[in-house]
Amino acid sequence: MEEELQILLSASQLGTADQCERKWGYTYLDGIRSPSTASQQLGTDVHTCAEEWLGKGTPPPQNKAGRIFTKGVALLPVPGDHVLVEHAFRFVDGPLVWRGFIDFIDTSTTPIKVGDHKTTKNLRYAMDAQQLSTDNQGIIYAKVAMDKFNVDQVQLEWVYYPTTGKNTLPKKVSVVVGRDHVEKHYKTLRMKGVSLLDHKRNVSSGVDLQVEKFPHPGCRAYGGCTFQEACDQLNKGNDVSDILDRIKAMSAAKTTPAAVINPPTEPVKTVVAAPQERTVSCEDVVVPPAKVGRPKKHRALEITEEARAAESVAPSANEDSIAPEAPPVKAKAKTKRKSKDKQETKEAADTMTLFIDCMPSSGSTDVSDIIMQCAAEAASEHGVDHYRMIDFGKGPAQLNVCLERYFHGGFSKFAGSVVLCTSNQIQADSIPFFEAMADTVVRSIK
């Protein structure tokens, strides 16, 4: 008995077919992928920043992608075990095999939030709530979440990050969808999937797929279709093998190999922690320079909008201390000032500022891997699977003991800024150690 033919499907594949079935054929039957563009690479970099932040609480790097992402941090869930990041899914519906990755699922809310990160040059391209409620990707993601968590409603949240315009802020589009709505629209997606399966069964190349009109609106989408030249020659009755070979070679030369994204054949098992009661907003906080030298008692700096405004108006300490420019003959005085500035810079570089539930305006050092390593060591030393299983509630204290041993009582390697999030239990338990080592502690205002 002949085995039933199956087809692997994704939301992006349906989107390509909606634009043009011939383009879908070139891409998924001929295996010719369009070369990656600079805009697509920037989108990938922003996604990486989001994944690191939501998955580990790692602050974004100080580059273009990091600055774009930082503006949208306040629109995202607080990092923690209740957030599933890059959740892989694979479900089979007869001959249709759906697969993909959901950027994030926040299980701490009712309804559960299912989210996606989108980069765009202009927010006018962002969907509204009505469009999102019937979007291919939104319907598939909603169905996956409903089936996984056995719920009848989910909230779709698409976060759009503008990549141009210094003063343009990210935008979040949200809509709640129910099971009946999702199942109704999924039937349409299933029919599209069956149609693509028929193409896979009956044709071997995009050349064999017909389009009703050429050129059509899909030819101009996203800056223009890569295959326009091939379609133009095909419509004139000419052979397009050389053109397709050239596009394929260009794609191989320009496209950087991406990480493997095929989900495992077996369902992914995920342990979902109970929703946490603490909710904080890790917003971007502009912090005044830390004072040189460790204070006798650590104090948290609460920065209000009034304080920020006052800070922007008031002259800085350096502006007050700079004397009027000396005449050219007094070159020695200038050299002395330069030497003093160097000394102040060196001393400032030796200090550490701890940011709790907020982010610095400049770069920071990621200590999440070290904390995880020390947590594993504490658990191993006491013969338990997790450090919080240590008897008499001594787990957090033993974690801090391991951290102190790791750093041998010093913190010279991490002078600068360190960010910790209290919604992450391990990071919250490590705060006492880092507070003791910090010269200045900055907390968000709840």
Beta bridge partner(s), residue 177: 154
pLDDT of residue 166: 76
- 293 within some domain: no
* C-alpha triplet 219, 220, 221: angle, nearest 5°: 100
pLDDT of residue 277: 37
Which portions of the chain are predicted below pLDDT 70?
Answer: 1-3, 222-223, 251-349, 408-414, 446
* C-alpha triplet 8, 12, 16: angle, nearest 5°: 100
Domain boundary among 220, 246, 277: 277
pLDDT of residue 339: 52
Among 121, 139, 120, 118, CA closest to 50? 118
Q: Are 141 and 102 in contact (CB under 8 A)?
A: yes
| 236 and 314 share one domain | no
- 282 within some domain: no
- 205 within some domain: yes
| 234 and 370 share one domain | no
Domain boundary among 246, 277, 308: 277
CATH of the domain at 30: 3.90.320.10
| 429 and 370 share one domain | yes
Residues of the domain holding 46: 1-277
Among 383, 376, 364, CA closest to 434? 364
Q: Is 28 helix (H, G, I), strand (E, B) or coil?
A: helix
Q: Are 440 and 290 in contact (CB under 8 A)?
A: yes
What tokens appear for 262 in the block? 């095929």
| 54 and 95 share one domain | yes
Residue whose structure tokens are 């509630």: 393
Q: In what order do the strands lie in the sheet with 416-420?
A: 300-301, 440-443, 352-356, 416-420
- 17 within some domain: yes
Exposed/middle/buried for residue 313 (C-beta within 10 Å: 0-12, 13-18, 19+)? exposed
- State how many domains the chain has: 2
What tokens appear for 337 in the block? 């000032």
What tokens appear for 229 in the block? 């030249």
Spell out the alpha helix ranges (H) of 57-168. 64-70, 129-133, 136-149
Among 347, 357, 348, 338, CA closest to 418? 357
| 315 and 408 share one domain | yes
- 114 within some domain: yes
- C-alpha to C-alpha distances, 30 to 80, 227, 233, 394, nearest whole angstrom: 42, 12, 17, 60
- 292 within some domain: no
| 268 and 122 share one domain | yes
pLDDT of residue 364: 78
Residues with Cβ within 8 Å of residue 68, at least 6 apart in sequence: 42, 46, 119, 161, 162, 163
| 209 and 340 share one domain | no
Among 108, 122, 99, CA closest to 54? 108
pLDDT of residue 342: 53
Beta bridge partner(s), residue 90: 99
pLDDT of residue 140: 96
| 248 and 391 share one domain | no
| 322 and 262 share one domain | no
Q: How far apart are CA 390 and CA 373, in angstroms?
A: 16
Q: Are 90 and 97 in contact (CB under 8 A)?
A: yes
Cα dihedral value 186, 190, 193, 197, nearest 10:
170
| 43 and 187 share one domain | yes
pLDDT of residue 256: 45
Length of the chain: 446
pLDDT of residue 246: 83
Domain boundary among 277, 308, 340: 277
pLDDT of residue 142: 97
| 15 and 85 share one domain | yes
| 367 and 269 share one domain | no
- 284 within some domain: no
pLDDT of residue 68: 94
- 408 within some domain: yes
